[in-house]
Amino acid sequence: MSPDSVRLLNGSSLCSGRLEVKSNQSWSSVCEADFDQQDAEVVCRELGCGPPSVLQGALYGEVEAPVWSKEFQCGGHESALLDCRSSGSARNSCSPGKAVGLTCSEGEDVRLVGGATHCTGTVELKYLGEWRPVEAIEWTRKTATVVCEQLDCGYVVSLGKRTGASSRSVWSISDMCIQLGSTLQYCASASFSKSIFDVTCSDSVRLLNGSSLCSGRLEVKSNQSWSSVCEADFDQQDAEVVCRELGCGPPSVLQGALYGEVEAPVWSKEFQCGGHESALLDCRSSGSARNSCSPGKAVGLTCSDNDVFRLEGGSNHCAGTLELKHLGEWRPVEIYDRMPQTAAIVCAHLDCGSIISIEQNHESSHRLTWGISADCVQDGSSLRQCAKSDHSSLITTLHCSDSVRLLNGSSLCSGRLEVKSNQSWSSVCEADFDQQDAEVVCRELGCGPPSVLQGALYGEVEAPV
């Protein structure tokens, strides 16, 4: 859907930047004096963005390209900028800071239908004037959060794919396109599918400015506005409820000022949760009222985002079929790209040393699985954030070493050697290890024969010896 005649450069998204126009295979900037609000409306529409919100020179850097020579005279209804009339005057230069900088709103027509509130239901997108359900192509919890945020609904709590009896017209949207910062509309293409996408968002709590979906400064929604919570009005039991409501693990850090100062209004009452409630706003609250909160005293909360997974059916806990508990449900995992680096994360989490082998096994029947893209995990996301619901006959079997591992190396077959005994890891002294010993370790890890055996290559000893 990307247009081939206009582009916005140096902006924070595809819908903002310095405007350039293509003609005769070359790109030209546009001078601010030759461009108005109607012209901007056409460009934003052509790019699949919302209406223009800011039109100002120098927002996105000085002019680098040649300057478009004529003034645009759009009525505002045209579908492409080059369809507009232009003046007969010619301009060959543009004063510094006067090239058009344009910000289009990224507000998309998106909704959740069929749920109890506007924050839960089937995802529908209005694109090219038409509402259609969205077909989820490898959508993850991280991507579904885009929809929740768009609807001012906090974070995604659950997501799933439903398959109907017959195909219907849908908007097909790729997870990878959205991960690259594109809007839903920019990533949409017309398709027919039996599968549609359901999302449940939290409409009452959210965590802002954190490093993951499970950390940040806590805000609570009431009467359509968000409020911060003062640290003095929030305790461990309250934190347990919030983490459960967001689909995260139990709270690991509860401390003010971790995620920025208070910006929103302050929640006026003290929460008094027992810790068992399913939502924070289900908890009792005190009758006292608070209108301010000392700087640095707004609740900063980190819920554990540790993946809950296991290896089933092997000879020990370090070998078997990979299963992940996500959104309260254990399912087998299919790692799409079968990358050893992703499998190594599982081995390390299970305290099992290095990965020895990773295999994809076919089952006779399809069943519900969690599908995981290795690229998503490599970007630093957890397995749970990258998990999408799928039906597959492929499941992943891992074999980790339960007795040796190599740390700090450049690959899975290099690093400082550690040996496990009595559930703890120990380094090995160089004087107590020779070429024959190295051959055994390399074979045990599924690597080739040893090529370098030398102390201090991969850092000093940290573990016991």
Which has the closest alpha carbon to 134: 50, 201, 200, 195?
A: 195
What residue type is assigned to position 374 of the chain? A
Tokens of 360: 């994809």
Which of 53-57, 79-83, 126-130, 172-176 tops mean pLDDT?
A: 79-83
In angstroms, how far apart are the furthest CA atoms of the chain?
86
In a domain, 394, yes or no: yes
Q: How many Å apart are CA 438 and CA 417, to the nearest integer?
A: 10
In a domain, 435, yes or no: yes
Number of structural domains in the chain: 5
Is residue 355 within 8 Å of residue 338, measured between CB atoms?
no
Please tell me the predicted confidence (pLDDT) of residue 238. 92
Is residue 201 within 8 Å of residue 153, measured between CB atoms?
yes
* Structural domain for 339, as ranges: 308-400
The number of residues making up the chain comes to 465
Per-residue pLDDT for 461 more than 60? no
Q: What sign has the CA pseudo-torsion 155, 158, 163, 164?
A: negative
Residues whose CB is less than 8 angstroms from the CB of residue 323 and which lie 6 or more positions away in sequence, other chains included: 309, 310, 311, 312, 330, 331, 332, 333
Per-residue pLDDT for 396 more than 70? yes
On average, the pLDDT of the chain sits at 80
Which has more pLDDT, 112 or 304? 112
In a domain, 318, yes or no: yes
| One domain for residues 381 and 442 | no
Which has more pLDDT, 158 or 237? 237
The stretch 76-100 carries a mean pLDDT of 79
Tokens of 231: 């640290």
* Residue 123 CB-density burial (10 A; 0-12 exposed, 13-18 middle, 19+ buried): buried
Please tell me the predicted confidence (pLDDT) of residue 29. 86
Which of 230-244, 261-275, 297-311, 315-329 tops mean pLDDT?
A: 230-244
Residues whose CB is less than 8 angstroms from the CB of residue 440 and which lie 6 or more positions away in sequence, other chains included: none
Please tell me the predicted confidence (pLDDT) of residue 27. 87
Q: How many Å apart are CA 200 and CA 451, to the nearest integer?
A: 53
Q: How many Å apart are CA 269 and CA 280, to the nearest integer?
A: 12
Please tell me the predicted confidence (pLDDT) of residue 446. 81
**pLDDT for 113-169, tens place per residue?**
888 778 888 999 887 768 899 886 666 776 787 888 778 787 777 777 777 778 889
In a domain, 388, yes or no: yes
Which has more pLDDT, 279 or 258? 279
| One domain for residues 70 and 146 | no
Please tell me the predicted confidence (pLDDT) of residue 437. 92
Please tell me the predicted confidence (pLDDT) of residue 436. 92
In a domain, 208, yes or no: no
Residues whose CB is less than 8 angstroms from the CB of residue 223 and which lie 6 or more positions away in sequence, other chains included: none
The stretch 4-30 carries a mean pLDDT of 84
In a domain, 210, yes or no: no
Q: How many Å apart are CA 92 and CA 81, to the nearest integer?
A: 20
The stretch 53-75 carries a mean pLDDT of 75
Distances (CA, A) of 316 to 244, 319, 347, 360: 31, 6, 13, 19
| One domain for residues 289 and 224 | yes
Domain's final residue, options 257, 274, 303 = 303
| One domain for residues 141 and 222 | no
Q: How many Å apart are CA 435 and CA 250, to the nearest integer?
A: 46
| Residue 62 pLDDT level (bands cut at 50, 70, 90) | low
Please tell me the predicted confidence (pLDDT) of residue 277. 85
Q: How many Å apart are CA 261 and CA 278, to the nearest integer?
A: 27
Which has the closest alpha carbon to 348: 304, 408, 302, 394?
A: 408
| One domain for residues 237 and 178 | no
| One domain for residues 345 and 388 | yes
| One domain for residues 100 and 18 | yes
Cα 164 vs. chain centroid, distance in angstroms? Answer: 28
SS3 97: coil
The stretch 174-179 carries a mean pLDDT of 74
Which has the closest alpha carbon to 235: 260, 211, 218, 212?
A: 218
Please tell me the predicted confidence (pLDDT) of residue 61. 65
pTM exceeds 0.85, yes or no: no
Domain's final residue, options 303, 326, 341 = 303
Which of 133-147, 240-254, 367-381, 447-461 tops mean pLDDT?
A: 240-254
Q: How many Å apart are CA 428 and CA 206, to the nearest integer?
A: 47
Is residue 243 within 8 Å of residue 251, measured between CB atoms?
yes
In a domain, 99, yes or no: yes
Which of 12-21, 83-92, 376-385 tops mean pLDDT?
A: 12-21
* Residue 266 CB-density burial (10 A; 0-12 exposed, 13-18 middle, 19+ buried): middle
The stretch 303-328 carries a mean pLDDT of 79
| One domain for residues 296 and 331 | no
Is residue 156 within 8 Å of residue 206, measured between CB atoms?
no
Per-residue pLDDT for 1 more than 60? no
| One domain for residues 57 and 122 | no
In a domain, 405, yes or no: no
Per-residue pLDDT for 287 more than 70? no
| One domain for residues 290 and 317 | no
| One domain for residues 71 and 12 | yes
The stretch 174-190 carries a mean pLDDT of 75
Which has the closest alpha carbon to 119: 201, 197, 224, 196?
A: 201
Listed range (37-46, 48-57, 194-203, 351-360) with the worst mean pLDDT: 48-57
CATH number at residue 375: 3.10.250.10
| Residue 380 pLDDT level (bands cut at 50, 70, 90) | low
| One domain for residues 343 and 359 | yes
Domain's final residue, options 272, 303, 334 = 303
**pLDDT for 194-203, tens place per residue?**
888 888 888 7
